[in-house]
Amino acid sequence: MRRLVRETWLNPSQLVLPLFVRSGENVRQPVDSMPGVHQTSVDEMLRDAEAAAEVGVGGVLLFGIPDHKDAVGSEAWNDEGAVQQAVRALKRELPQLVTITDVCLCEYTDHGHCGVIRRETGDVDNDATLELLAREALSHARAGADIVAPSDMMDGRVGAIRQALDGAGLSHTAILSYAAKFAGPFYGPFREAAESTPQFGDRRSYQMDAANADEALREVLLDIDEGADMVMVKPAGPFLDIIHRVKHETGYPVAAYQVSGEFAMIRAAAERGWIDCERVMMDSLLGIRRAGADVIITYFARDAARLLASGG
């Protein structure tokens, strides 16, 4: 009877698995703060993606870790970079998976910030960054990405990317905007995985204040006006109210990112025997869906999909 009248359902096709790719072959390097998560070469990434596809996961989100970093993150638009190679491999071997690429400079810059730094002030130059983000998105789209996902939080980047894609005849490439990305302490394990810790300062000047819900809606609406096809709220668990408002006030497809800190806390508590990992994992994902997310990006994607496929 409970199943019969259940209001909210999780489906593996609604889940997206983040993957961290780098150059080389047979590379599988564990991320200490995220048990079960690895940096991998493209060949190993394909193994993980295939395992996800087999249990019905809907898509993957690719983050690149370059061999070389510089002040402007030039490896981000290298057509032979790890992400670009990974996209081509995925579209060749696993075309049923939706391939999403993260568009940002923080993994590629030697200073770890999401844009170009003004030498005289040490802060991020918003406008100078837009052209570089557009170049990165174009490189990903030309490789075959289904969706590009700008996560930098620069003002105007969705419009710049949309204009660049359309101008290159790539209007079919969708944009999933990190529209409401909040600054805070939940990203620590990710920064280890992506090797993107800022070398000075923090990202509060361009990521959002966790106290501001109305501002989050304004940011979302600006990105929609600029051409975003989907919008994202990040992190997910601490901002369920924002997910709910975005969905109900815009009607747009909404993704929510259950970030590395959320994942690591559940894993760590489970390893100590304090919680049941599977039940907490599923309840956390169900809560995100209930709040209004259409898509959940989560490091639990394979585990959750496997459990769902078994009737759990």
91 as an active site residue: the answer is: no
Both tokens of 306, joined, read 């496997």
DSSP string for residues in 173-201: SEEEEEEEEB-SGGGHHHHHHHT---SSS
- Residues with Cβ < 8 Å from 6, sequence gap 6 or more? none
A 10 A CB-CB count for 160 gives: 22
Q: Between vectors from CA 237 to CA 12 and to CA 194, what angle results, nearest 5°?
A: 80
| Cβ proximity of 154 and 129 under 8 Å | yes
Distance CA(40)–CA(265), nearest Å, equals: 23
Amino acid at 57: V
- Residues with Cβ < 8 Å from 5, sequence gap 6 or more? none
Distance CA(194)–CA(301), nearest Å, equals: 19
Residue 17 region by backbone torsions, left for phi larger than 0, else alpha for psi between -120 and 50, else beta: beta
Nearest partner of 157 among 206, 194, 201, judged by Cα: 206
- Residues with Cβ < 8 Å from 44, sequence gap 6 or more? 26, 27, 28, 38
Nearest partner of 136 among 182, 47, 76, judged by Cα: 76
Q: Which helix (H) or strand (E) holds 290?
A: helix 277-291
- Residues with Cβ < 8 Å from 270, sequence gap 6 or more? 276, 277, 280
Q: Which one of the listed residues 69, 91, 234, 247 is annotated catalytic?
A: 234
Q: Which one of the listed residues 69, 91, 181, 247 is annotated catalytic?
A: 181
247 as an active site residue: the answer is: no
Please give the positions annotated as active site. 181, 234
